[in-house]
């Protein structure tokens, strides 16, 4: 068995992810404080915020993509599988996606009772997710290219859905899966990462622990979601719980991998 990713390499990538998550939120606040919704039309605000979000995402998305390249190449060297140097994915966010996110994000400003903090929270989470996506996409595309497995690694406060994905261990990508692949399913304010797992390479310790926790929590249970939610609520107070739709969706890809 080849050793797992060295803890210091894994910790550095997790820290970079957390840093990008935090700094994009702070940058957005600086622009947000310049706004006066009472003096702007809805369309003018949408146009302004699209430009703001694009600037932030392109700046930090490039950082995320380049960090993912370095991380992937280091892990590949440790894991000992052959392959070319990693290639960064584009940091340019799709225009239509930006429009949808900004329109949704500022929605609370035009409610009967405006909720500016809710609007800011929406935009912060979405901007962070978009900025981290080039790094996640880079890792995912290299995993597909080299035909190795991947695992999801959590950090900090993590929801039941993400913990469930982390508990699956190392799986292969599946082109047959409909819609967004599990490897790229990240909600707003999520600072999990995906990591490559080479042939015969051990899982990170946290994934091994979560595999055992999932088995213990769901063994003999007909309602696996309920059992897992109960377990997570008790062990990780305050963590978001998992919907039944989430498990049905991932069950299809789980079956495709085994």
* Alpha-helical regions (H) of the chain: 7-32, 42-79, 95-105, 116-146, 160-167, 205-218, 224-235, 244-257
Q: What is the pLDDT of residues 151-184, one digit of tens each?
A: 999 998 899 999 999 998 898 776 544 456 777 8
d(CA 102, CA 121): 12
Tell me if 47 is assigned to some domain: yes
**Structural domain containing residue 237:** 7-257
Q: What is the pLDDT of residues 34-82, one digit of tens each?
A: 888 888 899 999 999 999 999 999 999 999 999 999 999 999 999 989 8
Can you give the pLDDT at residue 247? 57
Tell me if 194 is assigned to some domain: yes
Answer yes or no: is pLDDT of 252 > 50. Answer: no
Tell me if 1 is assigned to some domain: no
Residue 257 banded pLDDT, cuts 50, 70, 90? very low
Q: How many residues does the chain have?
A: 258
pTM listed for this prediction: 0.87
If we measure between CA atoms, which residue out of 75, 186, 210 comes closest to residue 132? 186
The distance between the two most distant Cα atoms of the chain, rounded to a whole number of Å, is 63
Q: What is the pLDDT of residues 103-135, one digit of tens each?
A: 999 999 999 999 999 999 999 999 999 999 999
Domains in the chain, number? 1
Helix 205-218 with 224-235: angle, nearest 10 deg: 120
Structure letter (DSSP) for residue 150 = E
Cα angle at 254 between 222 and 158, to 5 degrees? 80
Tell me if 114 is assigned to some domain: yes
Q: What is the pLDDT of residues 173-231, one digit of tens each?
A: 765 444 567 778 888 888 999 999 999 999 999 999 999 999 999 999 999 999 999 99
Can you give the pLDDT at residue 174? 61
Pair 16, 67: CB distance under 8 Å: yes
Can you give the pLDDT at residue 145? 93
Mean pLDDT value of segment 231-250: 76
Tell me if 2 is assigned to some domain: no
Can you give the pLDDT at residue 162? 92
Pair 50, 98: CB distance under 8 Å: yes
Residue 235, classified by CB atoms within 10 Å of its CB into exposed (0-12), middle (13-18) or buried (19+), is exposed
To the nearest 10°, the Cα dihedral for 161, 163, 165, 167?
Answer: -140
DSSP string of 161-203? HHHHHHHT-SB---TTS-SS-GGG---TT---EEEEE-TTBPP
Tell me if 106 is assigned to some domain: yes
- Dihedrals φ, ψ of 193, to 5°? -130, 160
Alpha carbon 242 to chain centroid, angstroms: 16
């Amino acid at each position: 068995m080849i050793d797992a990713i060295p803890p210091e390499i894994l910790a550095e990538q997790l820290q970079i992810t957390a840093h990008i998550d935090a700094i994009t939120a702070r940058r957005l606040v600086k622009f947000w404080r310049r706004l006066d919704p009472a003096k702007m039309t809805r369309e003018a605000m949408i146009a302004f915020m699209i430009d703001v979000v694009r600037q932030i995402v392109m700046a930090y998305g490039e950082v995320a993509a380049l960090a993912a390249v370095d991380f992937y190449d280091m892990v590949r060297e440790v894991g000992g599988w052959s392959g070319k140097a990693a290639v960064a994915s584009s940091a340019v966010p799709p225009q239509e996606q930006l429009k949808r996110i900004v329109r949704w994000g500022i929605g609370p400003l035009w409610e009967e009772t405006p909720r500016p903090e809710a609007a800011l929270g929406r935009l912060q989470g979405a901007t962070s997710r978009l900025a981290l996506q080039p790094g996640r996409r880079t890792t995912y595309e290299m995993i597909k290219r080299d035909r190795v497995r991947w695992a999801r690694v959590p950090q900090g406060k993590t929801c039941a859905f993400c913990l469930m994905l982390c508990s699956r261990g190392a799986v292969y990508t599946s082109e047959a899966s409909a819609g967004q692949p599990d490897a790229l399913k990240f909600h707003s304010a999520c600072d999990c990462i995906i990591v490559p797992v080479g042939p015969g390479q051990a899982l990170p310790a946290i994934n091994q622990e979560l595999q055992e926790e999932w088995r213990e929590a769901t063994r003999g249970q007909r309602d696996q979601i309920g059992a897992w939610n109960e377990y997570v609520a008790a062990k990780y107070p305050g963590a978001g719980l998992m919907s039944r739709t989430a498990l049905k969706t991932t069950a299809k890809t789980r079956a495709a991998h085994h």
